[in-house]
Amino acid sequence: MIRRAFWLLVGAVGGIVGYRRAAAFGRRAARKNWARETARFARDVREGMDLYTARHQGRIGPTLGADTDHHEKG
């Protein structure tokens, strides 16, 4: 009876320790993936800003909305 209780206790402690280590490993892996995805997103935003700037060179003022030429001629 005491031997069974001992092995039950060893199994419970081993399971808890293993679960905590696996959870910590999962959090570290998720954090690395998050950092990689954030870097990709930042690179995409930077490329989009470069494209926008290249297409709207020479314009002064807001470039969103209606065409500003119609308002200036009136």
pLDDT bucket at 74, cuts 50 / 70 / 90: very low
Higher-confidence residue of 9 and 32: namely 9
The CA distance from 50 to 44, in Å, is 10
User: If DSSP codes are grouped into helix, strand and coil, which group holds residue 56?
Assistant: coil
Helix, strand, coil tally for the chain in percent (to 5): 80, 0, 20
pLDDT at 57: 78
The model scores a pTM over 0.75? no
